[in-house]
Structure 1
Amino acid sequence: MKSWLKKGFSLGLAMLICSVAILGCTNANNGKSNDPSTSASPAGSQNNASGEGKPEEVTLKLLVAWQGLSFLAPSDLANNPVAQIIKEKTGVTLDVEWITIPEIERLNLLFATNNMPDMVMAPYWGGQDVHTVAIKKAAREGLIMPLNDLIEKYGSNMKDAFNVGVASDFRENDLEDVSFNGERYLLPMHTPLSPEDTTQWAYNVFVRKDILEALDVKPSDIRHSEDLYPLLKQIKDGNFTDTAGRPVIPSGAWQNGWNYGSMLNSFTENNFTAFTKIDEQYRLGIFSELTDKRVLFMRKLVTEGLFDPEAFRQNDTVAKEKMATGRVAMVSAHYPHMNTVLSQSLYVDHPEMEYVPVGPIADANGENTMVESKVLKGQSGVPGMFIGADSKNAEAAMRYLNFINSEEGKLLVYLGVEGEHWTKDAAGQPKHTEKFLESAKSDPSYAVNQGIGSVYTLGVYGLPNRMFQAAGDAAQVDELYETSKEVYGLTVVDGYRLSYFNNEYPEFDKIQTLLDSNTQRDVIESAYFAASDEKALQILNDYRNQLIKGGVQEYETFMNEKAKTRDDIIH
């Protein structure tokens, strides 16, 4: 994780929504076989009882261990046009479970009971991320099915999945963890096809446009996190209401506190690991004075009623209910999530309440970076798919995954049915039909209910994001998305993350327990609710002393020594 403020969820939800909200496709064979006949019916697949060569019909149970993605569910999961073709080609029908509890809680329950579905889609951010740790442990304990042989036999379209669009250090240390003994257990998904296809997620602090206009505040007036405070005071005192006439909450978050950290950007370095530099030495960020500044600023907002205290732990349903009425005046997220959810709720009858980005809010170094505006070359963490070790339908799962990763499959799940939802232009490029564009414009749920850009995209890798927009109506460019991208731009960085030396520290299991992200989160949030600034800082310092007693200084010394062995270290 890049910092205690940056939830792994923030990256992954962006990857997911960006890759399904703007529909696109490509010829992604990269020199590999993408023959639809082989992708639909790999060698060894079972025929049905009629002996006509059709694949055996199977219902695959898929657990989407990811809050906030139920909007990807078509109204009729089995009988929409995309599902029908998938069934014809692979024999597979999906039976999907969506979650409303934190991802790690559902994964822990899954692995504790070993009540595994056929496939699980979950976050896999690498390093010491709790989801990654849990999935690796389950793989070592034999709860997850190894993929090497399955891909060799049935996955001709998935052989490049571990190389395309993933950061080299992530592949080396997480996808191909040494403890896996050469096996692979998780299929990365929604990675970019090429560096040029890296998607800009456009994380921002967003404010209701009608409120900014009423207060005569220009979005560009906000240049520092401290500038948010007087704006929030004005909002609180401005008698603004939501669509139901209730007083607005000055600021808040989406599910589980995501992503209030963007409001604290001026006290954040947006690093790639939990480390910072203090007096030219690598130190854990919890020891930085920036942590004090973040806590005291956030405590001020909570204490003065300028931030929704429920937002830190609220579930997806509660968050969406608040946002659907415009009740939260200021919120942080990436643009695709804002637009995808609100275009189907708040914006339908109240376009004047559209949320617009403010800033750029400079980071702690005075630079215009924000969460995910400074990125690694290749994904440094992914949403991924794995198969339960006891699944009796592993072959069918591979048949399904191999098909959706074929050229035909990608065209289907991202664009729909050829001739009905899209056709090819004179240059051979896919373009949505006028009928599709008109239907999607009049009904924001139309594409998903047709099965397009929906649950069937989960498991697809190597996405050609530059081509997404080209399939749509060029005259209907989302200008607000373009504006949201421009606030911070995109910077691509290459290097080896310092945190990967954790694997070489002899007592890292002890340190990992000591630095448990959930414990650190509890400490930070308890400081927000402390009776005074002094007590808030005391909570932080007590925690820091516990870390020191537990041996983190020896750990930091080790990491500084290891950093000297490479000249491409990034932190």
Structure 2
Amino acid sequence: MIRKKAVLLMVSMIMIFVVAGCSGNNSGKTEPTATSSARTEGEKEQATPDAGQNKEPVKLSFYYSNVPLKTEGRQTDEVMLELEKRLGVEIDFINQNTDRFKLMMASRELPDIMVVFDQDYKQLIEGGLILPLDDLIQSKGKDIAKNAEALDYYRQYLSSDTGKLYLLPMQVGATKEMVADVPYADYGAGYLTRWDYYKELGFPEIKSPDDLLAVLKAMQEKHPTTADGKKVYGVSSFVDKAGWGLWPFYIQMSLSQGYMEGAGNYLIDADNNFYNFLANEEGAFWDSMKYFFKANQMGLLDPESFIQNLDQYQNKQTNLQVLSGIGAWWQAGANEALADIPDAGFVTLPMENHYVYKTNVSIIGKAGRAFAIAKNSKNPEKAMEVLNYLYSNEGMNLLSRGIQGKHWDIVDNQAAYTDSFLKARVNVDEAEKIGVTKYALIYGLSDYTVNSDEGIAFDLNSESSIESTDWKGYQLDYAKHYGGEYPGDAIEKMADQGKIKISLFDTSGGVAVGTPPDDIKRIDDSIKDYMWKAMPKVILAKSEADYETEKKNVINELNKLGLDKSKEYWDKVWQQSINRVKK
């Protein structure tokens, strides 16, 4: 999800960190003459915990976020190895898996450090599975403590009425105003498709999802199979009931209409208008059901969309069996496979008079997720040191910029990436080995916030560094077609011309909607279970009339299951949470 799964563009993830959100705070792209990796004076003031000479590193486990690392276990990229050396730790990363996490909670054997999600907050706190953190912050969390407003908010509204701090906000400090004018290298979420195939068709006009389906059909007719004979589909999806949920079946339509997802089967726009997407018969969810229905009618829909898991879905993308995608982070393998084909690669196609998603921010932390330390941790103090480092100037510099003197340095009193790093990061494998922005999902502070020692945002992707990127041919061709110098520039110029709209969300209103009471949770769980059975019937309906009949049956059944009661509850808590933030 963009709120909870991804950030969303969040951004862009590990495989495409080169197209992450960009800040225009420096203009230098000159290779620095300094070769020393010594830290700046400001960084020296941020006391790195003494790793100690000849001491055995402390072993910690870290339950990672929802977009998985390529491999679990210890990471060998330059950034994480440097972090481990500075802190005297060895970190074993565990990718998020909802079913596995349930077993962990049941056994009360949890990883030391965790990224946890809002549906589990109540059980973790009330079940005594995570530690209250106030004392640890006082002794080991001086950088975390600087975010007093966000911490107080979490104590008051995300503590199961204990008034204690169990959860730490993530990616704290950014506002929409900070990000609105920041240039983006690329926009990587929405309706993505192959640029070479679109160009082959003569760039047909796309003003609606129906236009897009027509384009995908024309592509499929020209390219019905892959090079090795596998059937090609226009549209595909996947099933992850406990994790991603219904998200992959509605998010593209939602983003194109200017909405992103929130707790309780809700969509919310940039102005904090919200609605229950199952209850709104004319909204993005049902529009998306119609899109999938039409795709199936046209022979575009992958028939395994309702049974395959995320790995299988992504393998099909990488194998070039699918002509469209949801997010650039899932298209990285496909783009690598297309590297030797002129003008071939997946891009976000702008749909006229529709929205293109930029990002979401929150001054009090990302909605729906937080850091926690397990009660069963044998080294809670060291776990807190690691978390505190993620909120420090030094730690944020390392994760978002890399090692000073190697990946970035101070040039003419400005922080700037080195030319060697800018060249290296274009290659996916090299980017993985380096690790800069690989851990964007576990930043303590937003990278749009300013390093308090330098007065410069942590994110160094200025317009000049974006322009100096070694762009692929398809990216430059895409940009030129839409009137830009690089992909993000093209999107922004189209927005300036009024052809499309760019959406930027403040998700602070969703931070404290909380976990529903047991009766509402039972209703919501019943609704989710029912939707997984009902959704295929709607999408696979044999005719337009059958589609309308199945849709009507679903809405009637949802009401019988208590959708109206669930909606009444969530309407109230959403408005309360938004009102708190406005204060």
TM-score normalised over the length of structure 2: 0.73
CA distance in 2, matches of 1:564, 1:418: 45
CA distance in 1, matches of 2:310, 2:515: 34
**1:351 and 1:72, CA in 2 relative to 1: closer, same or farther beyond 3 A?**
farther
SS for the counterpart of 2:164 is coil
1:432 to 411, 417, 433: 417
Deviation at 1:212, TM superposition (A): 1.1
Verify the 8 A CA contact 2:191 2:325 in the aligned structure 1: yes
Deviation at 1:541, TM superposition (A): 3.4
Alignment pair present for 1:525 and 2:536? yes
Verify the 8 A CA contact 1:498 1:559 in the aligned structure 2: no
Deviation at 1:544, TM superposition (A): 3.1
1:106 to 67, 90, 100: 100
Trace 1:82-231 onto structure 2 (pairs within 5 A).
82-98=79-95, 103-122=97-116, 124=117, 132-161=118-147, 163=149, 172=153, 176-177=157-158, 179-191=160-172, 193-198=174-179, 202-218=188-204, 221-231=205-215
Deviation at 1:347, TM superposition (A): 4.1
Deviation at 1:151, TM superposition (A): 1.4
Trace 1:326-345 onto structure 2 (pairs within 5 A).
326-333=320-327, 335=328, 337=329, 340-343=332-335, 345=336
Deviation at 1:424, TM superposition (A): 0.8
1:168-223 superposed Cα distances (whole Å, 9 cap, x missing partner): xxx858983251411232323234544344487552312211111222234xx111
Deviation at 1:109, TM superposition (A): 2.4
Paired position in structure 1 for 2:259:
270
Q: Which amino acid aligns with 1:476?
A: T
Give the share of equivalent positions with the same residue, in percent.
18
Verify the 8 A CA contact 1:22 1:469 in the aligned structure 2: no
Paired position in structure 1 for 2:62:
62
Deviation at 1:238, TM superposition (A): 1.7
Moved more, 458-467 or 194-203: 194-203
Verify the 8 A CA contact 2:79 2:402 in the aligned structure 1: yes
CA distance in 2, matches of 1:385, 1:563: 22
Deviation at 1:265, TM superposition (A): 5.0
Q: Which amino acid aligns with 1:183?
A: K
Verify the 8 A CA contact 1:39 1:156 in the aligned structure 2: no
CA distance in 2, matches of 1:496, 1:355: 32
Moved more, 445-454 or 149-158: 445-454
Paired position in structure 1 for 2:502:
490
Alignment pair present for 1:410 and 2:390? no
Verify the 8 A CA contact 2:249 2:289 in the aligned structure 1: no
CA distance in 1, matches of 2:294, 2:357: 23
Paired position in structure 1 for 2:478:
none
Paired position in structure 1 for 2:560:
549
Deviation at 1:268, TM superposition (A): 5.5
Verify the 8 A CA contact 1:267 1:293 in the aligned structure 2: no
Count of aligned pairs between the two proteins: 518
RMSD between aligned alpha carbons? 4.5
Verify the 8 A CA contact 1:248 1:329 in the aligned structure 2: yes
Paired position in structure 2 for 1:445:
429
Q: Which amino acid aligns with 1:288?
A: N
**1:381 and 1:298, CA in 2 relative to 1: closer, same or farther beyond 3 A?**
same
Q: Which amino acid aligns with 2:444?
A: V
Deviation at 1:17, TM superposition (A): 1.6
CA distance in 1, matches of 2:345, 2:557: 45
Verify the 8 A CA contact 1:82 1:451 in the aligned structure 2: yes
Structure 1 residue runs without a partner (length 5+)? 28-32, 125-131, 363-367
**1:306 and 1:434, CA in 2 relative to 1: closer, same or farther beyond 3 A?**
same
1:422-480 superposed Cα distances (whole Å, 9 cap, x missing partner): 221012x2222233333334x43223313433348724323227633139465228612
Deviation at 1:490, TM superposition (A): 3.4
Deviation at 1:481, TM superposition (A): 3.4
2:371 to 355, 360, 385: 385
Deviation at 1:359, TM superposition (A): 3.0
**1:16 and 1:192, CA in 2 relative to 1: closer, same or farther beyond 3 A?**
farther
2:445 to 448, 455, 461: 461
SS for the counterpart of 2:62 is strand
Paired position in structure 1 for 2:13:
17
CA distance in 1, matches of 2:559, 2:72: 47
CA distance in 2, matches of 1:461, 1:110: 28
CA distance in 2, matches of 1:180, 1:557: 22
CA distance in 2, matches of 1:272, 1:7: 6
Deviation at 1:260, TM superposition (A): 4.8
Verify the 8 A CA contact 2:357 2:503 in the aligned structure 1: no
1:302-346 superposed Cα distances (whole Å, 9 cap, x missing partner): 24321223235533432332222433112222x4x2575555x22
**1:158 and 1:435, CA in 2 relative to 1: closer, same or farther beyond 3 A?**
same
**1:511 and 1:265, CA in 2 relative to 1: closer, same or farther beyond 3 A?**
closer
SS for the counterpart of 2:428 is coil
SS for the counterpart of 2:93 is strand
SS for the counterpart of 1:469 is coil
Paired position in structure 2 for 1:481:
488
Deviation at 1:288, TM superposition (A): 2.8
Trace 1:309-388 onto structure 2 (pairs within 5 A).
309-333=303-327, 335=328, 337=329, 340-343=332-335, 345-360=336-351, 362=353, 368-370=354-356, 381-388=367-374
CA distance in 2, matches of 1:214, 1:386: 50
Q: Which amino acid aligns with 1:287?
A: A
Alignment pair present for 1:395 and 2:381? yes
Q: Which amino acid aligns with 2:460?
A: F
1:77 to 72, 75, 78: 75
Deviation at 1:89, TM superposition (A): 2.4
Verify the 8 A CA contact 2:172 2:363 in the aligned structure 1: no
CA distance in 2, matches of 1:393, 1:507: 37
Structure 2 residue runs without a partner (length 5+)? 26-40, 241-245, 450-456, 472-485
CA distance in 1, matches of 2:575, 2:434: 54
CA distance in 2, matches of 1:430, 1:25: 12
Q: Which amino acid aligns with 1:445?
A: D
SS for the counterpart of 1:112 is helix
Verify the 8 A CA contact 1:188 1:382 in the aligned structure 2: no
Moved more, 385-394 or 33-42: 33-42
**1:469 and 1:7, CA in 2 relative to 1: closer, same or farther beyond 3 A?**
closer
**1:557 and 1:317, CA in 2 relative to 1: closer, same or farther beyond 3 A?**
closer
Deviation at 1:60, TM superposition (A): 0.9
**1:389 and 1:528, CA in 2 relative to 1: closer, same or farther beyond 3 A?**
same
CA distance in 2, matches of 1:338, 1:409: 28
Alignment pair present for 1:288 and 2:255? no
SS for the counterpart of 1:294 is helix
1:230-279 superposed Cα distances (whole Å, 9 cap, x missing partner): 223222322354454544222224785864535545995726654689xx
CA distance in 2, matches of 1:21, 1:41: 30
CA distance in 1, matches of 2:215, 2:132: 53
SS for the counterpart of 2:100 is helix
